[in-house]
Structures are given as structure tokens and as C-alpha cells.
Amino acid sequence: MTNRSRTHAAAMLSGVLVLLASCAGPRAKLPVQHYVPATTALLPLGALHLSNTELQLEGLEGRMDLEFAGIMPESAGPDMAGSSIYRVKNAGAYFKKNSGKQAFCSETPLWVAVNSATGAPAWSDEIWVGFLTLKDWASFTHAADRVCLGGDFRRTGG
């Protein structure tokens, strides 16, 4: 192999590595969407502000820092299957600030599930949000597991 061939091969390899790195990098941050509770049981939690990296409920202190974990499998049952699952990166600290508050979980929520019957949650006007406390979200089954908090929210204009 000549020097010119090696240089050309190295340049092509560098380009491929840059392309792969950009594909494997963190997901793009989606803008924060604003929702209001659709049921009276969720009213104490207040408005929901949600993106793919954070969740804030106005009735609670602080915000959840989120990281996309995957899509709930069909084995989770009809209500949960297809939900986008996010790991709560600051689960312990968030729970400590809000433990005992009305309508909040009695255990630390480790995962947030977001789903919509009308398409991708990021583009839907109505979403369902649920908090999960089990260690392994992928092992969730309809028969054995429940959300510690969950319900419907409607998108607002702001």
C-alpha cells in the first residue's frame, strides 16, 4: 500500500468514525411541552412540563432529570405496551423532596412511562404518564405490576 493509499484510507476511516459517533451520540433535546391534568385525582400535582430530558410537576418541588431507556414491550399489557420509558437520573433526591405530598408516590419512582393513543407522545395533544418503582422496567407485567402514579394529561397552548 502506498503512502497516498494509506492517507486516503485513513481519511475515509476518520469520516466513517465521525459519522458513527454522531449517530451514537445523545438524543437531541426536544422542547418542553406543557400539559394539564385531565382528571381531578391529578389536580394536586399541577401542570406538567415534559421533554425527553426533564419532567416537572408544578405541585411538587424540583424536577426529574430524565434519560431515555427504551420502549415498553408488548408483554407489559395493552395499557403500557409501546410506552416510552425514561430513567429518573435524580430519583432519590426528587423523592426525598416530595415524599408524603398529596397524590405522589409512597416509593421512589425510578422510571417514567409516557404513552399516547393518538401517536408519538411528543406530538400528541393527550398523553398518559406513569411512574414506575420496580428496579427493571422491562420486566413490567400487567398482571403483577402497577404504576405508583399515573394518569392522562392534555397539552396546553403555552
Q: Which has the closest alpha carbon to 41: 152, 155, 154, 156?
A: 152
Phi-psi region of 85 (alpha: psi -120 to 50; beta: other; left: phi over 0): beta
Percent of the chain with pLDDT over 70: 82
| Mean pLDDT, residues 78-84 | 91
Question: With bands split at pLDDT 50, 70 and 90, how would you rate the model's confidence at 84?
Answer: very high
Listed residue (143, 131, 37) closest to 86, CA to CA: 131
- Specify the length of the chain in residues: 158
Q: Is the pTM of this model over 0.85?
A: no
- pLDDT at residue 21 is higher than 70: no
Q: Where are the domains of the chain?
A: 28-155
Q: What is the 3-state secondary structure (H, E, C) of 26-78?
A: CCCCCCCEEEEECCHHHHHHCCEEECCCEEEECCCCCCEEEEEEEECCHHHCC
